[in-house]
Amino acid sequence: MSSVLYHLFCISSDGIPLLTYKSDGLPAIPFPVIGAINGVHMYANSNGVELVSTDAGNAKIIWKEYYSVKLILTLFSKNFLHHSKLLDDIFYVFVITIGLNSLSKILSIEKVKKKLRTCLPLISLLMRKQGTINNLRYMVDLCLVSQKTVLQNQLNIFIEESSCELGCLLLYNKVIVATESFWQMDKKDIYFIIMFQESLCNSLSASDTPIYLPVSSPDIPHRLITLSLIEHVKVVLICGSQPTLSELLKNYLHKYWMPLLFVLKDSLTSYPRCFPKDIKLDSSILSFVLLNIKDEMSWCSLFPHGSMTGSDQFVLCDVNERQNALFAFYESCLKSLEKEKNILSAIDAKEIYECTEQFKCYAILGSTYYLFVLYKKDTATFALSGVSRNMLKRLLKEKLQFAKNHMHWTHEWQNVIFSDEKKFNLDGPDSYSCCLHDLRGINDPQTKQNYGGGSLMVWGGFSYSEN
């Protein structure tokens, strides 16, 4: 949506302007015009009419109220269909940045204005992400690396030892691995956390920023900590009051991630393919996106053969062009599904293809996975189904590839040890505390600890022999 021009206005319920934002190069709209647009909405409300949107020449105007604020968005494009969701997303940006309390009851106009200005980098990023499948479905974008298990284990240990709540490891803002508690969050919270950290200054090696979770914790702030491990690879943490950023940098960062320096550097080879380089796909494939409908995750590769190599040199070289092509094909397939919903429910999977002047598209729509693939235009149409099906099987079976690669090992296992760690706390999870409070109103809570508190770390392992 980067080519679409827009004006965003945020005003209070009393009609006082709080924030204005627009596309670069677009002239500012005078406030009397904004007031007139707001007046139309207020007049409609006073007559019992809910005014959602209207066409105004070559533009579309959309209104929506949230608590004590009203958002007015003017889009200079009538082809964009997800107006209401876009306004919801902008409000989520406000919530994750300044919290719901600041928006539900405005006590100081000037303070709210100042806070809302800190949302501008995230709003700009949100507008650039419009017209992508991930944004439409709030899906987390994944990147597959060859040593995922090693990184997953190390992240779990790092999170547990540092007493953080949850976290993930990112490569070019795509999730490599994450803790179980991270995946248990609401998908909208996850999506906006990833986008929030992406909007931060990339030159920072570490950051500690207060955020609110739009769905699960819009009123209570958390700490979003980002730690750069190597260039383009960072760990993202959600914490309470502890640990401090200086403690993480001094006591944990070097200790747990320096031993994995070569593993982290090796993960860089998965980009921009977003999968290990030893996985080879058909040369006719330009790009693909694999959606896990059940877990709400996506695996997208815009350059599956590497950056600007092979067929990537000639067709749809620009990243935005490939994203737009995949998104347009995705929406076309959804329209087909709506028309033939009863047919799809009676079969295991539906396959759809389209042919354009630049490329061909093929989709496999199953009960758990949706696969959308762009092919070179000279690819034989009859071959699209077979190549797509083989590709889907290959991608889904990569989880078992390690076992298959080592199933014939014999004496090699003598050099391998399998290990794991577990920390047991007497007072529940890390950073968890109990207290006794007198219900008669005496403000003197007493700390409660089971058996004096404390924790125990247990490590275990097994190998081919006791030596």
- Could you report the per-residue pLDDT of 314-335, keeping only the tens digit for each? 555 677 788 888 988 998 888 8
Q: What would the CATH number be for the domain defined by 6-130?
A: 3.30.450.70
pLDDT tens track for 289-311: 999 988 889 999 998 988 654 44
Looking at residue 61, its amino acid is I
Q: Which of 182, 391, 205 is nearest to 281 (CA)?
A: 391
312-345 burial, b if ≥16 CB within 10 A, otherwise e?
beebbeeeeebbbbbbebbeebeebbeeeeeebe
pLDDT at position 2: 47
* Alpha helix positions (H), 64-173: 83-98, 101-104, 109-117, 120-128, 133-137, 148-162
Gap between the terminal Cα atoms of the chain: 61
Of the CA atoms within 13 Å of residue 167, those in its CB half-sphere come to 28
Which whole-number Å values give the CA distances from 218 to 96, 99, 188, 288, in the listed order? 7, 6, 12, 35
Q: Helix or strand or coil: residue 90? A: helix
| CATH 3.40.30.10 correct for 140-270 | no
At residue 186, the pLDDT reads 95
pTM above 0.95, yes or no: no
- Give the whole-angstrom CA distance, residue 153 versus residue 419: 10
Residues 6+ apart with CB under 8 A from 59: 74, 75, 76
Pick out the chain residues at pLDDT < 70: 1-3, 78-81, 307-317, 339-349, 398-408, 423, 426-453, 466-467
352 is written with which tokens? 């759809």
SS3 45: helix
Q: Would you state the pLDDT for residue 319?
A: 76
CA distance 98 to 362: 43
DSSP 3-state of 235? strand
CA 88 to CA 209: how far, in whole Å?
23
Task: For domain 285-396, say whether CATH 3.30.450 is its number.
Answer: yes
- The answer to whether residues 327 and 335 touch, using CB atoms and an 8 Å cutoff, is no
Which residues, 6 or more positions from 326, have their beta carbon under 8 angstroms from its beta carbon? 133, 287, 288, 289, 300, 372, 374
Respond yes or no on whether the N-terminal peptide bond of residue 210 is cis (omega within 30° of 0): no
Task: Give the integer Cα–Cα distance in Å for 129 and 133.
Answer: 9
Tokens of 398: 């990569």
Residue 233: what pLDDT? 96
- Tell me what pLDDT residue 413 has: 74
- Burial-class residue 287 by CB neighbours within 10 Å (0-12, 13-18, 19+): buried
SS3 183: helix
Cβ–Cβ under 8 Å, residues 47 and 39: no
Domain boundaries, the chain: 6-130, 140-270, 285-396, 409-431+453-466
User: What is the C-alpha radius of gyration for the chain, rounded to an integer number of angstroms?
Assistant: 26
Please indicate whether the domains covering 6-130 and 140-270 agree at the CATH topology level. Answer: yes
